[in-house]
Amino acid sequence: MSYNDRHGFVAEIDHIVWYQPIVAAASGRPISAEALARAYTPNGRVVSAGALFADARCSHERLLRLDRQTVRRVGASVAEWAAIDFFPSISLNVSTTTIDRDPAAVLRWLADEKIDPKRVTIEITETAPVEDIAAIAAAVEHYRAAGLRVAIDDFGCGSATFELLHRVGADIMKIDRRFVRSLVADERSRRVIAAMVRLAHELGMHVVAEGVESPLQWEWLTDIGCDAVQGHAIARPMPADSLVFWRDRIAWSPITGERQQS
């Protein structure tokens, strides 16, 4: 019996959404926040999307419901933020199952929740199974025409890396944390990341490095031209109300990562 079967998170769609800031690499200016699915275990622990989605790929219906519920949670956050004149851009992870089977659903859900598409980036997980890249590419074209931005998430760790890059007109490349983790100690990792950044820029894409956990990583990524960074060196995932506090009270010094009172 799986983790999700034992606790029923997937079947009940009982999850919350936390947000992790994404900042400009050179200035430290907040530019977006990624919405991340989380769930509470019976003993009160918060588990990540990895535990939540681990077995859900076996059920297309469950994935569609999870994606819908995540957008609903984000809609609630957006409404709360609008009441205090806070309008952050949001990155949403959407399963390739949803895009394959009901590509128009994303735009319907955003409209239902009164979320401005121009403030949303749809992240397509590059490591997820892709049944029909042509269908994904057509959906992405539709999303971009509606004002959404599109990111290829976990870039470099999936079987369809270059096919997605070639056929899907994405706006953003998100470099997987596994490359970032080893860049300080491993010359080969540094060369690979530098090549990714050059390739993305040649294609007119912006680059976000995920999993940035130290000022040294942040500095090196800035030096090679990475556009934005995300990770614990900037901020851990947090509830919606904490994101407002972070925005209001904490300014991050670029490169050093030191907190400064705003």
Query: pLDDT at position 165, please?
Result: 84
Please write the tens of the pLDDT for every residue from 228-247. Answer: 999 999 999 999 999 988 98
| Measured distance CA(131)–CA(70) in Å, rounded | 23
Band (pLDDT 50/70/90 cuts) for residue 5 is very low
| Measured distance CA(139)–CA(103) in Å, rounded | 6
Band (pLDDT 50/70/90 cuts) for residue 256 is very low
Mean residue pLDDT across the chain: 83
- Two tokens at 242? 């904490």
Whole-Å CA distances, 181 to 32, 96, 221: 22, 26, 12
Residue type, 93: N
Please write the tens of the pLDDT for every residue from 110-136. Answer: 999 999 999 999 998 755 555 678 888
Query: pLDDT at position 214, please?
Result: 94
Query: pLDDT at position 81, please?
Result: 94
Q: Of the ranges 14-18, 99-103, 202-206, 245-249, which is most confident?
A: 202-206
Whole-Å CA distances, 12 to 39, 141, 180: 11, 33, 35
* CATH numbers and ranges of domains, the chain: 3-261 (3.20.20.450)
Query: pLDDT at position 108, please?
Result: 96
Query: pLDDT at position 236, please?
Result: 94
Please write the tens of the pLDDT for every residue from 53-89. Answer: 555 445 677 778 888 999 999 999 999 999 998 889 9
Q: Of the ranges 15-24, 97-106, 130-139, which is most confident?
A: 15-24
User: Average pLDDT, stretch 1-9?
Assistant: 42
Band (pLDDT 50/70/90 cuts) for residue 154 is confident
